[in-house]
Chain A
């Protein structure tokens, strides 16, 4: 079986769940080969978890500068790994950094790039959902080593305990005139909540929430579910909630098991970012709100009356369950 390279998304100590999903996706095409880019010692910390989730080899591209420069260390490492392993494909998570790594790699390989795959078959045909959920597109790469970014949440991680062979990659030193240096890092204040694009449940608030204070009701329901909080553009523009939580055409696209829209009218730009959710629930005072026309369950009513009641029921149920 040919190798399928998977770029490992990690924080230096732990592997992010999206990587396990990618290892499961890679198995459809060949032997998953994890590529770890980080300072010396990183691969040793991550190897066991990667092997448990199906990596048959771990390629360590370790150098002191790896975490000091934006994107280019991963591109250099993958370019080298491709030349050394001639893989069937390269899979990269469809995160902000991942998209840029994948695109630069494809450019260097002069290879076909497929963005944001939600499915993948053994012949390398990739399924994508485009234009905010209005089309399903099936595509394949016709030139070069396929480079594919995979949407977080699209695949289920698979535990496959086994050993992983170790390899060392020695990428060239970073050229500081062609790479941007990271001089400071601040993590986002997401707290204990899961990431918006990874959460199984997303609870979003819109302008109907009425203000930043009103978002507490949204957060309480999200926490009762163990889900993420989102916001419509109208709520973000009004300053109720930070931009990084915006769901929609100009924000993030989400596709959770359950999407709860509170006080969101359902402008087409918002619908574009969430209409691939499995189940949609909406609460809105306005019976004409467009979101009620596509909700699996719509409530016409005051979200400040309906939501706390729902939160209480959900919390009680989960406490028992």
Chain B
């Protein structure tokens, strides 16, 4: 079985994230970059499939040079090879362009049975790239999955969203995105980290992915940011220490604010 895992390097949510004043893009120089946590769960799912069936795992990531670290981490967990989409012309890419580049990279892998991804990244939070990749590759989309079974050429999965839970069934090849609930990812072992250094990582650019395209008219985004304004931080209002009547005082405040 051939599995492709899509991963993304994101700014650590534990640190402050800023937008550059010049181009309204994420200020990567100020950010602490990490492999998005949800991608470790997608990887874990691929690795557990590899343990039960013979599988080859390719990790694909788009991003600047630093994204190689995210790929290395997935290789250290146990993936077999990496594809790094790295091209300055992709800076600021939107959901569609990102998905197009990822889909083109997946097409370079032969006989793919399963594409695995996280359901949303902690930076963009569009929760949309996996669905677009499925559309572009004409694969069934099996997204927001908290339980996955792959057997006899089919995917059976439990999807959980705000509308409730559904059971999904689709033939392979398919695209699956996983939620935080699906598993507990493993840590890379020391042996895995050493082995990852020897695993192949191919770097590709737009000319490799779209050899026939006219790159002079290449659109990285179909939208324009007119303005990005930092919102003033909230400041503390009233603070009281409970003397036995705090519940009543709080109620009086909420009534005065017409919130009750």
Contact = CB atoms under 8 A, between A and B. Distances in A.
Interface of A: 70-72, 75, 95-97, 99-100, 102-104, 106-108, 110-116, 125, 129-131, 133-144, 176-188, 195-197, 201, 225, 243-244, 249-250, 252-253, 257-258, 268-269, 272, 275, 279-281, 283, 287, 292-302, 305-314, 317-318, 321
Contacts of B222: 106, 110-113, 141-144
Contacts of A252: 162
B251 A314 contact: yes
Contacts of A253: 125
Contact of B122 (A181, A250, A321): A250
| Of listed A179, A180, A195, A293, residue having the most chain B CB within 10 A | A180
Nearest to A181: B169
A243 B155 CA distance: 24
B161 A279 contact: no
B223 A317 contact: no
Contact of B96 (A113, A139, A250): A113
Nearest to A141: B223
B251 to A, nearest CB: 3
Interface of B: 13-14, 16-17, 19, 24, 37-38, 94-96, 99-100, 122-129, 131-132, 134-136, 138-144, 155, 157, 159-171, 174, 179-181, 219, 221-231, 233-242, 244-255, 257, 259-260
Contact of B254 (A115, A131, A281): A281
Nearest to A280: B234
A115 to B, nearest CB: 5
What are the 4 tightest A-B residue pairs by CB atom distance, in nearest-first order?
Answer: A309-B247, A301-B242, A313-B251, A103-B128
B237 to A, nearest CB: 4
A108 B231 contact: no
Nearest to A114: B223
A301 B163 CA distance: 36
A78 B135 CA distance: 14
Given A142-B222, A308-B247, A313-B248, A99 B126 contact: yes
Contacts of A141: 222-223
B159 A294 contact: no
B238 A296 contact: yes
A310 B136 contact: no
Of A184, A295, A302, A309, the most chain B CB neighbours within 10 A belong to: A309
A310 B247 contact: yes
18 contacts: A100-B131, A113-B94, A135-B229, A136-B231, A139-B224, A177-B140, A179-B141, A182-B167, A187-B163, A249-B13, A249-B122, A287-B241, A295-B239, A306-B242, A307-B247, A309-B247, A309-B248, A317-B255
A287 B242 CA distance: 11
Given A107-B135, A182-B168, A299 B246 contact: yes
A158 to B, nearest CB: 22
Contacts of B144: 96
A175 B121 CA distance: 29
Contact of B162 (A186, A197, A250): A197
A188 B99 contact: no
A146 to B, nearest CB: 8
B127 A99 contact: yes
B24 A137 contact: yes
Nearest to B243: A301
A177 B170 CA distance: 7
B167 A183 contact: yes
| Residue of A108, A301, A321 ringed by the most chain B CB atoms within 10 A | A301
A186 B223 contact: no
B170 A103 contact: no
B236 A293 contact: yes
A287 B230 CA distance: 28
B132 A104 contact: yes
A185 B165 contact: yes
Contact of A179 (B94, B140, B155, B259): B140
B117 to A, nearest CB: 12
A95 B141 CA distance: 16
Contacts of B17: 131, 134
